[in-house]
């Protein structure tokens, strides 16, 4: 709806003033509704919500401030402009503290009225635009977008809820490439009270080292040859929000020291600057490196590691949660069908079997890419094996080995209790892998969840 067609509710007990405002507003192209009392105004706002209200401070049945509060309870976003006599300016100022957009003094100057209405409607339009942009930015970055039925994904959602509801300013995401660290960072931001503020992301390996510092912290005019003006860095731009630092393990040591100062003191300096600036940001850092090993070889600061590790989140690979493969594939299928405006189709049972059997070294990112390719190739047909990459559709056969000379476990003549043998095998697998459940499950040829079920059964968890 254009502002020129905005609906304006005029509330005043003086008939001549109502008539005069009605005539002027209609000439401006607005739709006008009139009310003589506070009760009429509230009823009119309830039955036909206005886009703006012109409200007299003195009404026969109520104080204008009281009506303001009732109107804002109906619609907090509707701007209200108070109209007051010379002697009641103090009350109008009090009304503005309670949420009124502006006030005008009687007799109302037509030009002042025109300007006040324009400013109020522009501000309302801007608020709505910001709300839409925030909703668009959060699209695809909610807890519901963390697809999976495994316990690992359930635990991840619970952890994110805890972080989002806390004041924690540092989070460390660790996991293989493609496990969804960037998505988790966005979900943490948009699930928190920081959601209205900016979310800024940067890869610590995507930019040359000499540019990363100015990108993060900004620079002053003349700080270096090409610094022809002042620039705000991402931390300054994201004040109140979140900065996502991908591949933090590749950040050079001097920048690590500057980042540590920002975390500990909430202050930093632009490149070439002499003045400390403050930034209230949540830092979500991510890496697929073993930071403990980087500390040992001197490429990553131990003190920064522990400051980032206030809330550590280990993102499991898809190999560790195979039950999530098909839910992810179906999710991406629906997404790409919608984006490409295709009719709904399914994944054939044979194709699902191949997808479920594949090891997915590229994790969730690889699932997305495979399904996008398949949707393009399949057209209007169901996704079949023929639409999958060769490594998934026709995996190499396992080498045939000679049968072992004897069974791996010999049954004694006196017999054996199967549960005791199973417990012993689980215990041996855990001992051989130093308690690493993923590797132990792989030794036993079962999933990690299946291993944990047995560990609970045998009292090993």
pTM: 0.64
Asked if 219 and 270 count as a contact pair (C-beta separation under 8 A), the reply is: yes
In this predicted structure, what is the pLDDT of residue 438?
Answer: 75
Name the class of domain 143-314.
Answer: alpha beta
CATH topology of domain 318-393: Helicase, Ruva Protein; domain 3 (1.10.8)
In this predicted structure, what is the pLDDT of residue 2?
Answer: 44
pLDDT in tens, 113-140: 999 999 999 888 887 776 666 555 556 7
Bridge partners, 244 (sequence order): 201, 284
In this predicted structure, what is the pLDDT of residue 403?
Answer: 42
Q: Tokens 């697929």 belong to which residue?
A: 288
Q: State the alpha helices, DSSP H only, in 173-286.
A: 181-190, 209-217, 234-237, 253-265
CATH classification code of 418-457: 1.10.10.60
In degrees rounded to 5, what are phi and psi of residue 286? -135, 150
Where along the chain do its domains lie? 3-135, 143-314, 318-393, 418-457
The beta strands (E) that lie in 57-96 are given as: 80-84
3-state secondary structure (DSSP) of residue 274: coil
Give the end-to-end CA distance of the chain in Å, rounded to a whole number. 62
DSSP string, 344-381: P--B-HHHHHHHHHS--TTHHHHHHHHHHHHHHHHTTS
DSSP string, 291-342: HHHHHHTTSS-HHHHHHHTTSEEEPPPGGG-GGGHHHHHHHHHHHHHHHTTP
Q: What is the mean pLDDT of each run of 10 residues along the chain (461 residues)?
A: 73 93 93 94 94 93 90 91 76 79 89 93 81 62 91 94 92 94 95 92 86 92 85 93 95 93 94 92 94 92 94 93 95 94 93 93 96 94 94 69 50 68 85 80 79 84 78
d(CA 30, CA 434): 75
Common-topology check for domains 3-135 and 143-314: yes
In this predicted structure, what is the pLDDT of residue 240?
Answer: 94
Q: In 3D, which of 225, 222, 204, 226 has the Cα closest to residue 213?
A: 204
- Domain 3-135 of CATH type 3.40.50.2300: yes
């Amino acid at each position: 709806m254009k502002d020129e067609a905005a609906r304006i509710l005029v509330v005043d007990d003086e008939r001549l003033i109502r008539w005069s405002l009605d005539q002027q507003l209609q000439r401006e192209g607005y739709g006008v509704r009139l009310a003589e009392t506070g009760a009429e105004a509230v009823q009119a706002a309830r039955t036909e919500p206005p886009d703006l209200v012109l409200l007299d401070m003195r009404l026969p049945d109520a104080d204008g401030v009281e009506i303001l509060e009732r109107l804002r309870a109906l619609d907090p976003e509707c701007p209200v402009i108070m109209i007051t006599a010379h002697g009641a300016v103090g009350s109008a100022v009090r009304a503005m503290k309670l949420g009124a957009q502006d006030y005008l003094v009687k007799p109302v100057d037509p030009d002042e009225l025109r300007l006040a209405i324009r400013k109020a409607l522009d501000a309302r339009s801007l608020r709505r635009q910001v709300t839409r942009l925030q909703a668009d930015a959060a699209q695809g970055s909610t807890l519901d977008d963390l697809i999976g039925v495994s316990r690992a994904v359930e635990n991840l959602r619970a952890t994110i809820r805890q972080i989002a509801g806390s004041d924690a300013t540092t989070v460390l995401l660790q996991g293989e490439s493609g496990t969804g660290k960037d998505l988790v960072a966005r979900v943490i931001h948009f699930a928190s009270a920081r959601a209205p503020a900016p979310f800024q992301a940067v890869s610590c390996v995507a930019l040359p080292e000499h540019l990363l510092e100015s990108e993060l912290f900004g620079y002053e005019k003349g700080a270096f040859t090409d610094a022809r003006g002042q620039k705000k860095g991402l931390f300054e731009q994201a004040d109140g929000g979140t900065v996502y630092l991908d591949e933090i393990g590749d950040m050079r040591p001097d920048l690590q020291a500057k980042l540590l100062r920002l975390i500990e003191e909430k202050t930093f300096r632009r490149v070439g600057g002499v003045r400390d600036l403050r930034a209230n940001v949540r830092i979500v850092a991510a890496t697929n490196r073993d930071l403990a090993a980087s500390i040992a070889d001197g490429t990553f600061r131990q003190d920064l590691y522990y400051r980032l590790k206030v809330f550590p989140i280990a993102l499991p690979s898809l190999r560790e949660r195979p039950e999530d493969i098909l839910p992810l594939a179906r999710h991406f299928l629906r997404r790409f069908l919608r984006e490409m405006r295709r009719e709904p189709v399914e994944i054939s049972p044979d194709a699902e079997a191949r997808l479920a059997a594949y090891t997915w070294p590229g994790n969730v990112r690889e699932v997305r890419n495979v399904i996008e390719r398949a949707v393009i190739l399949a057209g209007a047909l169901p996704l079949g094996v023929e639409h999958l990459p060769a490594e998934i559709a026709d995996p190499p056969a396992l080498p045939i080995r000679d049968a072992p000379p004897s069974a791996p476990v010999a049954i004694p003549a006196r017999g054996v209790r199967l549960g005791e043998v199973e417990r012993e095998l689980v215990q041996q697998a855990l001992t051989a892998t130093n308690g690493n459940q993923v590797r132990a499950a792989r030794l036993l040829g079962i999933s990690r969840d299946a291993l944990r079920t047995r560990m609970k059964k045998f009292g090993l968890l």
